[in-house]
Structure 1
Amino acid sequence: MSFNAKDMTQGGQIASMRIRMFSQIANIMLYCLFIFFWILVGLVLWVKISWQTFVNGCIYWWCTTLEGMRDLIRSQPVYEIQYYGKTFRMNAAQVLHDKYMIWCGEQLWSAFVLATVVALVICLITFFVVSWILGRQGKQQSENEVTGGRQLTDNPKDVARMLKKDGKDSDIRIGDLPIIRDSEIQNFCLHGTVGAGKSEVIRRLANYARQRGDMVVIYDRSGEFVKSYYDPSIDKILNPLDARCAAWDLWKECLTQPDFDNTANTLIPMGTKEDPFWQGSGRTIFAEAAYLMRNDPNRSYSKLVDTLLSIKIEKLRTFLRNSPAANLVEILPEARKFGGCYVFGIQSYAQLEDIYGEKAAATLFDVMNTRAFFRSPSHKIAEFAAGEIGEKEHLKASEQYSYGADPVRDGVSTGKDMERQTLVSYSDIQSLPDLTCYVTLPGPYPAVKLSLKYQTRPKVAPEFIPRDINPEMENRLSAVLAAREAEGRQMASLFEPDVPEVVSGEDVTQAEQPQQPVSPAINDKKSDSGVNVPAGGIEQELKMKPEEEMEQQLPPGISESGEVVDMAAYEAWKQENHPDIQQQMQRREEVNINVHRERGEDVEPGDDF
């Protein structure tokens, strides 16, 4: 409410202008309806009664109207009455008492009443129809007109009806929204911060997969899905630290060299921050060693580990020539041909870029067609999500008023301007509650704002059962790894250029003897030469170890390529150097290798499932 004079003037002028314009439209409508009313009355009378009955009825009602004034009329009028081709002459008294004339009057009155009712009903209907048409046109002028882009709806049932009408609705649903039939092979992406609802969607998809009997591989870091879905009769756990882990034979799984390469690519993912040489080298070493051991009747994981850790460092250069590319970027587009379906749960698109790089992340994200965007608190990530949901192209309506003291200046001007706008703003993404998301489907279907409800599920199995790992074997493995790393550093120093480090003799002396008092410098001839030499007056040169000494570092029975060629000699050497541990390793093949890595380095797509 405002009592400002300017505001009251503007409001009064606009209200007065609207009243005048409404009065103009109302007068035009009433004038047209009045004419239309009598036209309808005449048409109904023309249909109901004949012309003769109409004329005679009019004469009867005219005489009835003048009956009270008959004494005032000196000369009584005479009327010509038509009766089926004959003409009769009657005065007013005769007209009022003639049975035929009375019948004509009654017929005319009945037809007139009927015509009036019919015309009135039609006029009322016409009035509302015209008002609705004019109102609709006015509303269209004041509303934005969509010309392209994607639409947004908060009613998933509307989209469900559209899919059913097109015959594309699937039996898989996310809440009340069905996905497009057979679109699961085009992959899913669940984007949003932690605790927003991604795992709930994955659980619902897992329920449908279990009902359909589909095979599912779930990357479950937290054990939530093991707790709710693990069935020992049909499910397998592939976690070497879990006591329920299935016994996996690498050499029965991999039959050819490409199979070993694919396994190496999976076990050693390609990062973006580190030098790809090291990941590629590790892949090649593992694939080659496992492939060479495929025909060994005494093959085992322990023997494979010993072989990998016994390879001569100089021979690595023959293996490390090619670095296989990350296979996840290739699997997603190719797995569709074999019925593969991927569901990725990521906290942000930046997470993909950090793991796979900018171009690879764009490739991965592009093959995920069905997407659900949950809350993203960050401004940039929320803007990215809003852009991926889509935008609409529309003609934006604008309305301007002009008014003045003279009514001639009063008027309203309307117009529309082309504009492109995102369906949702980044603030809408930031303010989404838990279990609420925007879902986009492939194809010309609207984006849907979908709200889910958490479904409680019973606990059917423990999340994790730790495996009893032999600590002595673990310690031995750690010791061997430390020894190999030391050898690697020693070998790396051999490839460094032999450039002596130039330091001042005074700095070296002060560093080595900080407790001695400072003595005056001795002025001799050598000090005038201007050449600084290391402490001690000599240069220490790193010398390459001879080939014979390097070969002596290998255990007996191991070739230069790292392959066990004499098992008896190698076993005797192990019994001599590690009798207790070797005896335990022979009794049991350890299938779990605890690779010491930081938790943050194990980030994979689908971080939360």
Structure 2
Amino acid sequence: MFAAGLKLPLIAGVILLAIVSYVQVRFSLTDHQFYLIGMDIYARFYGFIEFDPDKLIALKQADGSTLEMAISVLSDYPPVEQAVSALWKAIGLALVFTAIVFVPAFFLFYWILEYFGGSFKEKKFVRGASLVKLGLLKRKIWRNNFVKQHKELRPILGWFWWLAGAQKLIEAGYYIPAKIAGVSYPWRKEIEHTMLIGTTGTGKTVALLDLITQARAKGQRAVVFDLTGAFISRFYDPSRDMILNPMDARCPQWSIFDECSSISEFHAASEALIPSDGGGNDQFWVLGARSIFMESCMALVRAGTPTNAALAERLMTADLSEVHKLVEGTLAEPMTSPEAAKMAISIRAVLNANAHALMLLPTSGPRFSIRDWVRAKEDIKPGSILFISARYVDLGILSKLLTLWMNIGMHTLMSMTRTDDLRLWFIIDELGALHRLPALEQGLQTARNFAGAIVTGIHTYDKLKEVYGEDIANTLASLSRTKLVLACGDDVTAEWCSDAIGKQEVIEIDEGYSYGHDNARDAVTSNSKNTIRTLALADELTNLKSLTGYIKFPDGFPAAKIKLKFKTRPIVAEEFIPRSDNPGMDRALPKPKPGPKPSPKPGGSINDGDDPVSGDNGPRPASDGGAGIEPPGVQEQLAFDAERRGGSGAVSKTDDPKSDQEKDRLSAVFTARGQERGKQSLSDQKTAADKPSSSKKPSTRNRLSAKEADRFIGANGNAKREQKSRSASQAKSAEDNPDPTKEQREGAIGSRIIEDRDDMDIG
């Protein structure tokens, strides 16, 4: 097979040698020398056949004479030797000349075959993405940026704008693209957003540190989400930067009322503070909590008390009755109704679980507003950075608040005027650490119109889908048009990144070789076919070294493999300084306000002597909605005492001890029964299964004999009639007044208890 490939150049070499040798011999030897060489060949052949060596031959001389000599000595005749020597000399010169010509020609021929044969066999690009060397990508981007820069500056500074001074270039809006991984962005493509993908320790932070360094050098501002303290420790400047972290001593005062003033702004804030995280089946409680939060904030604004403290006191820790009064007349009023106490408690539990971080904010120090900082209303220095940070240990309680802050910043940017000059960076190192950012999708879609550049970093694609759902995760990834792909830690992320880098359609040449017993049977066949080729395999991405990866820019630029350069930066600030007041430890929920104790009748008391039933029934049950209704046990004790006294005064403590013990036992029994009846009458939301069964008999310890019950009821007939009369008057009052007072509600409950007592199971 190899000789078959060399056959043509070998034949060409032999032909060349023959031609050169003939020419050299023909022009180097005379006719007489050719004659002598011929006679020498004849004599050698004659001797080889072993004929008579003494045979005489007549040899012609150069002058035309002849000379006889034995044939065996012809080869030794000097003129013959000279002629043969001249022949070999001519052939040697021909070989040298052939070598000088043929060897370079042979290698040239081989290179031509290799070049054209290799191009014939290599893949031919048809369409799709492409992967090139890093140097070629940089040259392509430089040419693109130069052309577009020329179009922008030529109308202002003329054709020779590059000769203008630095001051004129700055006044003309001279723009220098940022660099990522050492490669310049295509012209003004930072605002089309960037996503960095890679597992821990692969170089995302290295790339972001370089971006922040460039932004600060150009005087551009940035909002940086810092979960590790790596950015604060290297860039924080107290003279122009801010740190938002409720647990950090450097955090200023912040209030949601400094950021929001309209119902739409509070609605947007509630979506960030109370996230849904990808959806689910139990969104009612989330939507309800958002509604209560939004309406409560608006109510506090209308009341002139828009503070975090008022929000905590009147919404997050107040009785439900007070919350109901706060949102009265709004869409949130039905959700806090005392008649739906269980629902209200559940909704507020969702609210408090998400908004707890608002109670940890500092209450001293300078005030700070994200909205004013983004709009640069105050004296904001160039290159100012807003750090939104938290430690991992605090992330569980602060994640919703961090999400809210980032959301406010993005929404504020999108409420400003349009511009082409890059105005603000949003750098989020670990997007999955935040809860769902409602403004992120909107920001990726429209922030470019307001000169906002969003740079996000993720560890795994699954985490992004977990927070945002699969559809939104795909949208976020597609809207981040520049992608820096580093080493991936799982196959799912690697496959997704492989698709992001791209594929291409190519024409491939398949070669087939056949070998036979004879060289004539050897053959090579070639076939072409179109195939789809992946630029970077998933397995390749999972096995990348740290600080190496692929960069992919928009606008049809090819992908290229890059290598990040780690740069040591000095530590200029502490990553975290804890607050001295230990936020959260000085706060406690307010104690429930005890209901007013009923006044005893003249000559009596609520609890006589050693009555085992206590007058302190603890906090109000949740079913009263915080409306001020005393627990049923107190009402029934009062009714029982009134009946026991019969309206004629208190029972003296000097009565018969046996009688006192009997009365105490009767009091305990009726109190227990009254509590059951009171709970049944108040719980209008309970199902029939929750109600105590009427067929269930009381315990043996509290049973009364029929004789004892008759004696007790007969002795208190007057009290019963008086109580029924009061019940009728209170019922009429309730019809006239649909919002009964506390005393009227207590009387109604007591009346129902006395009326239902005859139905008790008295054994």
Out of 254, 259, 282, which is 2:260 matched to?
A: 254
2:527 corresponds to: 415
Q: Which amino acid aligns with 2:558?
A: P
SS in 2 for 1:342: strand
Deviation at 1:264, TM superposition (A): 2.6
Name the CA distance, whole Å, in 1 between partners of 2:296 and 2:625: 22
SS in 1 for 2:116: helix
Out of 490, 498, 511, which is 2:687 matched to?
A: 498
TM (norm. structure 1) is: 0.61
1:201 corresponds to: 207
Q: Which amino acid aligns with 2:519?
A: P
- 2:64 is aligned with 1:72: yes
Out of 121, 134, 142, which is 2:121 matched to?
A: 142
Deviation at 1:428, TM superposition (A): 1.0
Q: Which amino acid aligns with 2:197?
A: H
1:414-447 CA distances to partner (integer Å, 9 max, x unpaired)? 2222211211222111111222222211132222
Name the CA distance, whole Å, in 1 between partners of 2:270 and 2:198: 31
Out of 261, 272, 278, which is 1:266 matched to?
A: 272
2:448 corresponds to: 336
Query: Is the 8 Å Cα contact of residues 193 and 348 (structure 1) preserved in structure 2?
Result: yes
Structure index of larger Rg:
2
2:509 corresponds to: 397
- 2:430 is aligned with 1:318: no
Query: Is the 8 Å Cα contact of residues 17 and 98 (structure 2) preserved in structure 1?
Result: no
Deviation at 1:466, TM superposition (A): 2.2
The 1:232/1:382 distance shift into structure 2, 3 A limit, reads: same
Query: Is the 8 Å Cα contact of residues 223 and 463 (structure 1) preserved in structure 2?
Result: yes
User: What are the ranges of 5 or more consecutive residues in structure 2 without an aligned counterpart?
Assistant: 37-60, 67-95, 150-175, 317-321, 336-435, 594-618, 628-681, 701-734, 744-763
Out of 265, 274, 283, which is 1:276 matched to?
A: 283
- 2:179 is aligned with 1:188: no
Deviation at 1:29, TM superposition (A): 7.4
Q: Which amino acid aligns with 1:133?
A: I
Out of 7, 13, 21, which is 2:5 matched to?
A: 21
Aligned positions, number: 440
Deviation at 1:204, TM superposition (A): 0.9
Q: Which amino acid aligns with 2:3?
A: I
1:225 corresponds to: 231
1:365-420 CA distances to partner (integer Å, 9 max, x unpaired)? 11001111222222222222222221222222222111222333221112222211
Q: Which amino acid aligns with 2:219?
A: G
SS in 2 for 1:271: coil
The 1:119/1:180 distance shift into structure 2, 3 A limit, reads: farther
The 1:410/1:243 distance shift into structure 2, 3 A limit, reads: same
2:566 corresponds to: 454
Moved more, 259-268 or 125-134: 125-134
1:249-268 CA distances to partner (integer Å, 9 max, x unpaired)? 44443343323333333333
The 1:484/1:191 distance shift into structure 2, 3 A limit, reads: farther
Deviation at 1:364, TM superposition (A): 1.0
Deviation at 1:166, TM superposition (A): 2.4
SS in 2 for 1:392: strand
Name the CA distance, whole Å, in 1 between partners of 2:564 and 2:254: 39
Query: Is the 8 Å Cα contact of residues 157 and 176 (structure 1) preserved in structure 2?
Result: no
Indicate the RMSD between aligned Cα atoms, in angstroms: 4.7
- 2:471 is aligned with 1:377: no
Moved more, 330-339 or 403-412: 403-412
2:185 corresponds to: 179
The 1:403/1:157 distance shift into structure 2, 3 A limit, reads: closer
1:450-474 CA distances to partner (integer Å, 9 max, x unpaired)? 2223222222111222231465652
SS in 1 for 2:444: helix
1:302-326 CA distances to partner (integer Å, 9 max, x unpaired)? 112223234229969823999x993
Q: Which amino acid aligns with 1:420?
A: I
- 2:296 is aligned with 1:289: yes
Moved more, 254-263 or 223-232: 254-263
TM (norm. structure 2) is: 0.49
1:88-119 CA distances to partner (integer Å, 9 max, x unpaired)? xxxxxxxxxxxxxxxxxxxxxxxxxxxxx999
Name the CA distance, whole Å, in 1 between partners of 2:442 and 2:545: 35
SS in 2 for 1:265: helix
The 1:223/1:496 distance shift into structure 2, 3 A limit, reads: farther
- 2:223 is aligned with 1:239: no
Query: Is the 8 Å Cα contact of residues 196 and 456 (structure 2) preserved in structure 1?
Result: yes
Query: Is the 8 Å Cα contact of residues 172 and 208 (structure 1) preserved in structure 2?
Result: yes
Query: Is the 8 Å Cα contact of residues 145 and 186 (structure 2) preserved in structure 1?
Result: no
Out of 429, 439, 463, which is 2:541 matched to?
A: 429
Name the CA distance, whole Å, in 2 between partners of 1:194 and 1:436: 13
Deviation at 1:357, TM superposition (A): 0.9
SS in 2 for 1:232: coil
Name the CA distance, whole Å, in 2 between partners of 1:202 and 1:446: 22
The 1:241/1:439 distance shift into structure 2, 3 A limit, reads: same
The 1:235/1:120 distance shift into structure 2, 3 A limit, reads: same
Q: Which amino acid aligns with 1:308?
A: L
Name the CA distance, whole Å, in 1 between partners of 2:268 and 2:493: 33
1:206-237 CA distances to partner (integer Å, 9 max, x unpaired)? 11111111111111122221111111111111
SS in 2 for 1:195: coil
Identity %, equivalent residues: 28
Name the CA distance, whole Å, in 2 between partners of 1:359 and 1:131: 56
Query: Is the 8 Å Cα contact of residues 502 and 535 (structure 2) preserved in structure 1?
Result: yes
SS in 2 for 1:140: helix
1:54-88 CA distances to partner (integer Å, 9 max, x unpaired)? xxxx99998999999751289xxxxxxxxxxxxxx
Query: Is the 8 Å Cα contact of residues 514 and 524 (structure 2) preserved in structure 1?
Result: yes
The 1:388/1:551 distance shift into structure 2, 3 A limit, reads: farther
Deviation at 1:28, TM superposition (A): 4.6
User: What are the ranges of 5 or more consecutive residues in structure 1 without an aligned counterpart?
Assistant: 1-16, 42-57, 75-116, 514-545, 554-609
Question: Aligned runs of 1:554-573 on 2, under 5 Å?
Answer: none
**Which structure is higher in RCO with an 8 Å CA cutoff and minimum separation 6?**
1
